[in-house]
Structure 1
Amino acid sequence: MKRLETYLNKKGYVTYNRSYPSTVAGVERSAVHYINSALANISRDEVSKIHFVTHSLGGLLVRYYLSNHKIKQLGRIVMLAPPNNGSPVAEKYRDRFWYRWMTGVPGQQLHKSNNPLLEKLDPIYTDVGIIAGTRSSDPWFNHVFDGEHDGKVAVADTKLTEMKDLITVKHGHTFIMNKRKVKDHIVNFLATGNFYRQQERKPLLNTSES
């Protein structure tokens, strides 16, 4: 997320880029610990709103945190490729040794069916924009998807009922945040609550008489 952080700085945003061990602790523990830590490092006098820009599992951390805590200065939220409704990859492979070894505790919380974590997350009480990828960066998982996906998460599984806007981009899951178009979409949503879409030019009608 470093390139995105630099870009947002140039656009005038005060940023705090918080990483976390995404394969160690569960979503509940990481959400409370790391988001509280991030908020403690933000001077509330310097900012009027606190926005969140998340990637992948980070979206679930924010959803869990906001289901249990209030942020008075909460602004808008942009989620990049979030597994809001789980992932077919986790659904199919969560019992496999290699999957458990690679993804740790959080990997066991991303399955789609009968998921206690997803079932207890409340609707988010602010503007949410979602950017989903449609080009696979993990072709070895392509066979587990039916519709559009980014290699790890299906576009359909990124959606939230309360989302204000969703836009798709032809990029894969892992490095979606580094694409210039994605950065522009993020800035536009933070400023306006909607993603930028270039207006299509309509053909001119020739009304002159022959």
Structure 2
Amino acid sequence: MRKAPESSDARCPGVVLLHGIARGSSSLRKLEQAIRAAGFATLNIDYASRTKQIGALADDIHPAIARFAERDAPLHFVAHSMGGLVARAYLAKHRPDRLGGVVMLGTPNGGSEVADLLSGSRLYRAFYGPAGLELTTAPRPDSLPTVDYSVGVIAGNRFIDPVAGIFVLPKPNDGRVSVQSAMLAGMADHIVVNASHTGLPRDGIAIAQTITFLREGHFWPFTHESKWLGSRAFDVMSAMVLTATRKRTLP
């Protein structure tokens, strides 16, 4: 396992970022930079997402997170796609004492019908490995426990692949995960943004809403679908986040 460079001001709340399957920490770089600019310390971890089952991956990332959690500040998690399942598995085993909020972007909490369709393929099994087989909608005896901490869910409703988006997944969906599947029992809040699965961590509204949830424990009640904001939606929300950040740092 490799971890990306760490931003670790002990006075700032910390945020652990977890990428999805077959991705890397670079896929969350834009999101990480925005979170860091908002006043958080970050730990953006690279882990071998295709080599082990989700529970084992949670154990692999524990040493790095345990060191990061030694800071005298709350610890939040932000995760994309399967990274949200890794976060859930991690918190079931290694929950930090000062756990803050958890934001999941496009996490298949209820599984993905795309994985259902492809999991019988030798190519799929070879490429995605043991964790890929845990992304189906089939119930599992080792299911993750119900969350008892603050979770914000961000789902996408835009798909690029028309085959999966139209013929495989329930609508609305992001091309890999349906909005329904992203939802999670016990979640504190949820929103839907006009972004594809891979585009969620780079989407301006998703980024601004992630920071809002980390600060406030809930999302702002508007998204890409708020027509009155138009193309300035991200600018408006970024200004709100920046203002809130400054107010919190003033003596």
TM range (shorter): 0.7 to 0.9
Aligned residue among 44, 66, 80 for 1:17: 44
Aligned residue among 13, 21, 29 for 2:56: 29
User: Could you say what secondary structure the match of 1:52 adopts?
Assistant: strand
Amino acid in structure 2 at the alignment position of 1:106: A
Aligned equivalent of 2:13: none
Aligned equivalent of 1:74: 99
CA drift of 1:126 comes to 1.4
CA drift of 1:111 comes to 1.1
1:157-195 Cα distance to aligned partner (Å, 9 max, x none):
111110011100111001211111111100110111111
Q: Distance in 2 between matches of 1:93 and 1:70?
A: 33
Flag structure 2 segments of 5+ consecutive residues without an equivalent. Answer: 1-27, 228-251
Q: Distance in 1 between matches of 2:123 and 2:177?
A: 19
Flag structure 1 segments of 5+ consecutive residues without an equivalent. Answer: 202-210
CA drift of 1:116 comes to 3.1
CA drift of 1:80 comes to 0.4
Q: Tell me which protein shows more helix as a share of its residues.
A: 2
Matching of residues 179-194 of structure 1 within 5 Å: 179-194=203-218
1:85-104 Cα distance to aligned partner (Å, 9 max, x none):
11101112201122213311
1:18-52 Cα distance to aligned partner (Å, 9 max, x none):
1212111110111111133223234413xx21000
Q: Distance in 1 between matches of 2:160 and 2:59?
A: 30
Aligned equivalent of 2:67: 40
Count of residue pairs brought into register by the alignment: 197
Aligned equivalent of 2:80: 55
Aligned equivalent of 2:22: none
CA drift of 1:150 comes to 0.6
CA drift of 1:197 comes to 2.0
Aligned equivalent of 2:192: 168
1:102-158 Cα distance to aligned partner (Å, 9 max, x none):
3111111111123234x2x11222110000010013333221112211111111111
Q: Distance in 1 between matches of 2:65 and 2:131?
A: 20
Judging changes above 3 Å, is the alpha-carbon distance between structure 1 residues 155 and 6 closer, same or farther for their aligned structure 2 residues? same
Amino acid in structure 1 at the alignment position of 2:110: N
Output the aligned Cα RMSD: 1.8
Matching of residues 35-184 of structure 1 within 5 Å: 35-45=62-72, 48-117=73-142, 119=143, 121-142=144-165, 143-184=167-208
Judging changes above 3 Å, is the alpha-carbon distance between structure 1 residues 40 and 137 closer, same or farther for their aligned structure 2 residues? farther
Q: Larger relative contact order (C-alpha < 8 A, sep ≥ 6)?
A: 1
Larger Cα-atom Rg: 1
Q: Distance in 1 between matches of 2:101 and 2:218?
A: 10
User: Could you say what secondary structure the match of 2:219 adopts?
Assistant: coil
Q: Is the 8 A contact 2:58 2:87 kept in 1?
A: yes
Q: Is the 8 A contact 1:83 1:157 kept in 2?
A: yes
Q: Is the 8 A contact 2:115 2:135 kept in 1?
A: yes
Identity of matched residues, %: 32
User: Could you say what secondary structure the match of 2:62 adopts?
Assistant: helix
Q: Is the 8 A contact 2:169 2:176 kept in 1?
A: no
Aligned equivalent of 1:207: none
